[in-house]
């Protein structure tokens, strides 16, 4: 449920001009802000996957999906946050709390990630007879594809 990248550009506030005047490409700035989010999400995701696989003792394919799918979602969450923040920036604020807790980008960043997280569960319940490895493979590839699309779109965007 963490999406620091959804508010990271807005937190620059009135100092955004510093980033604009720096001799750095916008894509580099976006990648750095996504990396901060990944720094929070990756260790937790990997530890959760490890503990789940140790407790549930799955076979090879389900164990692989326990690691690969969350990693795809980590990448998605990082890119989704920047994408939303580029669409809904808020540079006029008095307190950082306004941006972090009350901005629409923050809400959509978190809710979007949660919605995409519920999709696999719904699909598995709707299609109980279909092989779960196939479903997880398709879902993971779809998340990776959508993340790649958003990443290309984000990296081609100039700073607001």
For the full predicted model, state whether its pTM sits above 0.85: yes
The per-residue pLDDT for range 45-72, each reduced to its tens digit, is 999 999 999 999 999 999 999 999 999 9
The per-residue pLDDT for range 70-112, each reduced to its tens digit, is 999 999 999 999 999 999 988 888 888 888 888 888 888 888 8
Quick one: CA torsion of 84, 15, 29, 100, rounded to 10 degrees?
A: -40
Give the count of domains, the chain.
1
Residue 32 lies in a domain: yes
Residue 55 lies in a domain: yes
Domain with 45 in it = 5-15+23-155
Quick one: CA torsion of 70, 147, 27, 13, rounded to 10 degrees?
A: -80
Residue 133 lies in a domain: yes
Count of CB atoms situated within 10 Å of the CB of 75: 21
């Amino acid at each position: 449920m963490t999406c620091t990248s959804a508010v990271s550009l807005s937190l620059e506030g009135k100092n955004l001009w510093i980033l604009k005047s720096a001799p750095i490409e916008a894509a580099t700035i976006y990648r750095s802000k996504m990396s901060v989010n990944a720094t929070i999400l990756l260790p937790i995701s990997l530890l959760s996957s490890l503990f789940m696989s140790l407790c549930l003792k799955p076979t090879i394919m389900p164990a692989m999906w326990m690691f690969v799918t969350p990693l795809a979602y980590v990448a998605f969450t990082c890119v989704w946050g920047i994408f939303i923040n580029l669409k809904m920036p808020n540079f006029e604020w008095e307190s950082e709390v306004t941006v972090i807790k009350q901005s629409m980008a923050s809400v959509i960043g978190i809710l979007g990630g949660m919605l995409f997280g519920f999709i696999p569960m719904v699909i598995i319940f709707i299609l109980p007879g279909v092989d779960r490895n196939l479903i997880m493979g398709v879902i993971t590839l779809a998340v990776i594809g959508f993340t790649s699309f958003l990443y290309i779109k984000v990296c081609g965007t100039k700073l607001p």
